[in-house]
Amino acid sequence: MPSSIDRLTIIQPDDWHLHLRDGPALRDTVNDAARHFARAIVMPNLAPPVITTAQAEAYRQRILAARPEASDWQALMVLYLTDNTPADEIDRAVASGNIHAVKYYPAGATTNSDSGVTDIKKVYPVLERMQKLGLPLLLHGEVTDTHIDIFDREAMFIERILIPLCLQFPDLKIVLEHITTEQGVAFVSNSGDNIAATITPQHLLCNRNDLLAGGIRPHNYCLPILKRSNHQQALINAATSGSAKFFLGTDSAPHPQNKKESACGCAGCYSHHAAIELYAEVFERAQALDKLEGFASLFGPAFYGLPVNQKTLSLRRAPWQLPASTQLGGDPMVPFYASETLQWAVVDGE
């Protein structure tokens, strides 16, 4: 049953998980990111990855140079953890004031993760330093063993890697990124305040039927892969629950159309053409629009220890059709939910 309100004003949201890429793509991705959001946690999986504080500072400058004129949107930088990251890099990162987290990719888990960690024990000295200094660890929470079924990789990660990790580092701040399963929701819900999770629009709006039933839809392919509808429902319940442990992270991850529509297509859904509107759709369907502001604008800053934004963003009920195609650095790109209709639109210029 649709809710009765026609207008919604929230504190300006932030995106706590975003891929901007580099080079010519930045004009498009940064422009979209800065349209409605105030800040974003920027993923470091470039080729080569953003491993050092100096590399993160240089990348930040390239990003800020691509901002639209007069924009005060902020890039919150993240270091890419490798087997060889020295613990002292954490001191430099914290001292910079511009680095807000460190990302753990299991080697081989996803796009540009080849330099990722081969065994989490190898980075224990780095995690020790992060725990001491309060720098959050962001997890791509999937095991990579080739014999483990792709649909089981998140649940297996929680059992084999995450539970022992939390026992070893009980005070380490951890974000289990882009959770996709009931097990992910349960683990985060039952953990202390130092453990949180981000949830993407595609995992809230879709399940694996949207990827595989009636034809393969490569634009719904991302990692972790879409799961069964019971998992989708658990994510909707978590996002709309009002719990401060779950907050907005789009994982918007652009790839050109030809790299997605391929015999071996890339993982990633681009959602920053309509990010807050996609989430509004989910919250509206769950009759929980009153919970959108906490999820989008309050719980992320609270976890990261950052101030809440000053500005507001207004949406109104005004159905609109998403574009069939957009641009990524001069290449055509098919964004997530292309050509679908959404019920809520941002009121620009307020």
Interacting residues with ligand DOR (CB under 6 A):
19, 45, 110-111, 140, 222-223, 253, 267-268
- How many angstroms separate the CA atoms of 250 and 33, rounded? 11
Nearer to Zn ion, 142 or 284 (CB): 142
Q: Which is nearer to ligand DOR, 129 or 203 (CB)?
A: 203
Q: Which is nearer to Zn ion, 250 or 297 (CB)?
A: 250
Question: Which tokens hold the place of 95?
Answer: 């001292």
Q: At what angle do helices 53-65 and 88-96 cross, to 10 degrees?
A: 30
The distance of closest approach from Cβ of residue 206 to Zn ion in the complex, given in angstroms and rounded to an integer, is 16
Is residue 251 close enough to count as binding Zn ion by CB under 5 A?
yes
Are 275 and 15 in contact by the 8 Å Cβ rule? The answer is yes
CB of 146 to ligand DOR, least distance (A): 17
Among candidates 8, 74, 67, which has minimal Cα distance to 301? 74
Active-site residue list: 251
Beta carbon of residue 275, minimum distance to ligand DOR (angstroms, whole number): 15
In whole angstroms, the minimum distance from the beta carbon of 142 to ligand DOR comes to 8
Residue 327, phi then psi, degrees to nearest 5: -120, 145
Among Zn ion, ligand DOR, none, the one that 110 touches (CB under a kind-dependent 5 to 8 A) is ligand DOR
CB 151 within 8 A of CB 225: yes
301 binds, among Zn ion, ligand DOR, none (CB under 5 to 8 A by kind): none
- The number of beta carbons lying within 10 Å of the beta carbon of residue 39 is 24
Range 167-171, long-range pairs (CB < 8 A, 24+ positions): 168/124, 168/127, 169/127, 169/128, 169/131, 170/194, 171/131
CB of 17 or CB of 36, closer to Zn ion? 17
Total residues in contact with Zn ion, by rule CB under 5 A: 1
Which of Zn ion, ligand DOR, none does residue 13 bind (CB under 5 to 8 Å by kind)?
none
Which residue type is seen at 3?
A: S
Positions that interact with Zn ion (CB under 5 A): 251
